[in-house]
Structure 1
Amino acid sequence: MKKTALALAPLVLGMFCAAGAHAQPAAPAATTRPAPPVIHYRTETIDGVKIFYREAGPADGPVVLLLHGFPTSSHMFRNLIPYLADKYRVIAPDYPGYGQSEAPDPKKFTYSFAHYADIVDTLVQRLGASRYALYVMDYGAPVGYRLALKHPERVSGLIVQNGNAYEEGLRDFWNPIKAYWTENTPARRKALAGLVTLDITKFQYTDGMGDVSRISPDNWIHDQALLDRPGNSDIQLDMLYDYRTNVPLYPKFQQFFRDRKPPTIIVWGKNDTIFPAEGAHPYLRDLPDAEFHLLDSGHFALEDRLAEMAPLIHDFLDRKVAPR
């Protein structure tokens, strides 16, 4: 009897373990999450200048061209790019004198919005982007709209964030700059030197923001380090003076809107001192079907409203630029 019990012990133990194993709750199935997109950081030499750009997303995806403002660079889109790159080929260049692009001597290189538009045009053509949605912000608006005048058939849509195309948008902030346009003297130029200092750079990121704790101080430290490069302040003052050449083109930009009727979404920080909401509303005169969103934010709205803006932009692109 004892031998029989010993012989049965392994079998009984095995049955007990098996029963115990079956009694354990099943492990949860592994959740499969999409891998984050790979972002490439590249340069292309155009007109003898190395132009830096960020690129992400499927090579055959619809193109979204991100055009930055002053005093920043493609860095302003660093958080938006991964969100769009699941489906879209995203290209974000730095203009000469900004970000990681080279900043040649102004005596040897023409710093102007017309030249920037030509450089961006050359870049996207080299990259094989024959059609694109334009995301325009601040300086990116005249660069992008000049590009649109050159190739209206290539524009698949517009994403407008605090980018002006109407004189109503040039409010009090612009008065000393307009005086510089009227009278290009050393005194007028010197009066604007404060616009490239740390206080104003920080102001651009924090003014009008409901919760400044959402704004990374890396922004103004990063931008100011680049503004403080030898000779860069002169480049910025040259660009401020050249901005006057955009204003006579506003009627042509507006005619482009009316003639081509590009699908448009406006996502505008309404508390912006530089490009206030007075510059956002006139778009609806020429683009009455535009999707219009005034956000409780300031100049760099992506810094505190990304969670709101990114889904709006992605949904707009899905419906209007790359419908399934």
Structure 2
Amino acid sequence: MLSDSYHVLSPDFPGFGLTKVDSDFTYSFANITKVIAAWLVALSISKTAVYVHDYGAPVGFRLAISNAIEYSAIITQNGNAYEAGFGQDHWAPLFNLWNTANSDQARKVVADNVLSLKGIRSQYNSTPLKDSDLLNPEAWTFNYLQNIQGDANTERQLDLFYDYRTNVELYPQFQKYFRDSQVPILAVWGKNDPSFTPAGASAFKRDSPGAIVEFLDAGHFAIEGKRWEIARISRAFLSSIGW
């Protein structure tokens, strides 16, 4: 039945926000997916529409291919599933991390640059200058202080960066899921994102010809400056499929 409002559930991932896990937890996308799968079981959720972004995309798509959840619709906001979507400049030190088998030197380069406060801020500030007054500096500051600052946090984030290669290995399975399920897909994308480029959004149409692709004059965290526009586009999309 068409609804004018939605019940939104937004879990933290281990290593982010306020989620707590055992001290021996191994930070990998496979394990994060297991945590979210258990959370879905605890809440008796077996079918939903999903909004994914960044790390949420591979976790959400892993859940789908493992049959842990059935999606009525997918909204992906700069949530990648195609190699074409990688911004080469941004990912160069991360590709090097993979290619050097997680070497100490490569980890240090990523820690000193990608995981610095300046590096985190750049992800938020890839939005156009005219919208800069809509950006809350608490966003990247809290992100850095809560999730990245400190040796333990930094090591967790580096472990996840290295493990991200396992998501790329699953891209063909994600794409097969899009083809086989033909789940309705909306790719709403900050076109100035240095991490996941517009090519990654357009690529969804390869496997889901009916996918809707919308580009916004925004960056990686498009929702920081374009939240109402994203909400309008998302609601129109969900309404169009009777959700």
TM-score (norm 1): 0.70
Cα offset, 1:276, TM superposition: 1.0
Alpha-carbon distance change, 225 to 127 in structure 1, aligned in 2, over 3 angstroms: same
Whether the 8 Å contact between 1:97 and 1:235 is mirrored in structure 2 is yes
Length, aligned pairs only: 238
**Partner SS, residue 220 of structure 1:** helix
Q: Which has the higher contact order (CA 8 A, sep 6+)?
A: 2
- Report the residue type matching 1:175 in the other structure: A
Show the 5 A alignment for 1:25-36.
none
Match in the other structure for 1:91: 9
Mapped to 1, the partners of 2:91 and 2:22 lie a distance apart of 27
1:134 aligns with 2:65: no
2:139 corresponds, among 200, 219, 231, to 219
Show the 5 A alignment for 1:1-324.
87-102=5-20, 104-105=22-23, 108-151=24-67, 154-172=70-88, 173-183=90-100, 184-193=102-111, 194-210=113-129, 211-226=131-146, 227-320=148-241, 322=243
**Partner SS, residue 87 of structure 1:** coil
- Report the residue type matching 2:81 in the other structure: A
Cα offset, 1:171, TM superposition: 2.9
- Report the residue type matching 1:203 in the other structure: S
**Partner SS, residue 100 of structure 1:** coil
Mapped to 2, the partners of 1:318 and 1:229 lie a distance apart of 44
TM superposition outliers: structure 1 runs of 4+ over 6 Å: none
- Report the residue type matching 2:104 in the other structure: P
Q: Deviations over 1:101-146 (max 9, x none)?
A: 12554xx111111111111111011111110111111111100000
Mapped to 2, the partners of 1:271 and 1:150 lie a distance apart of 32
Cα offset, 1:282, TM superposition: 0.8
Cα offset, 1:229, TM superposition: 4.4
Mapped to 1, the partners of 2:156 and 2:35 lie a distance apart of 17
Cα offset, 1:87, TM superposition: 2.3
Q: If each structure's strand is expressed as a fraction of its own residues, which one has the higher value? A: 1
Mapped to 2, the partners of 1:179 and 1:198 lie a distance apart of 21
Q: Deviations over 1:288-320 (max 9, x none)?
A: 111110111000001111121101111222232
Q: Deviations over 1:138-173 (max 9, x none)?
A: 111100000010117611110011011111112312
* Range with greater deviation from structure 2 (210-219 or 237-246): 210-219
Mapped to 2, the partners of 1:153 and 1:222 lie a distance apart of 31
Larger Rg: 1
Whether the 8 Å contact between 1:103 and 1:232 is mirrored in structure 2 is no
Alpha-carbon distance change, 153 to 221 in structure 1, aligned in 2, over 3 angstroms: closer
**Partner SS, residue 8 of structure 2:** strand
Q: Deviations over 1:48-97 (max 9, x none)?
A: xxxxxxxxxxxxx99xxxxxxxxxxxxxxxxxxxxx9x622211011111
Whether the 8 Å contact between 1:133 and 1:321 is mirrored in structure 2 is no
Mapped to 1, the partners of 2:241 and 2:154 lie a distance apart of 40
Alpha-carbon distance change, 152 to 115 in structure 1, aligned in 2, over 3 angstroms: closer
Whether the 8 Å contact between 1:133 and 1:155 is mirrored in structure 2 is yes
- Report the residue type matching 2:18 in the other structure: Q
Match in the other structure for 1:72: none
Q: Deviations over 1:258-285 (max 9, x none)?
A: 0000011111000100111121111111
* Matched-pair identity in %: 40
Mapped to 2, the partners of 1:157 and 1:215 lie a distance apart of 29
TM-score (norm 2): 0.92
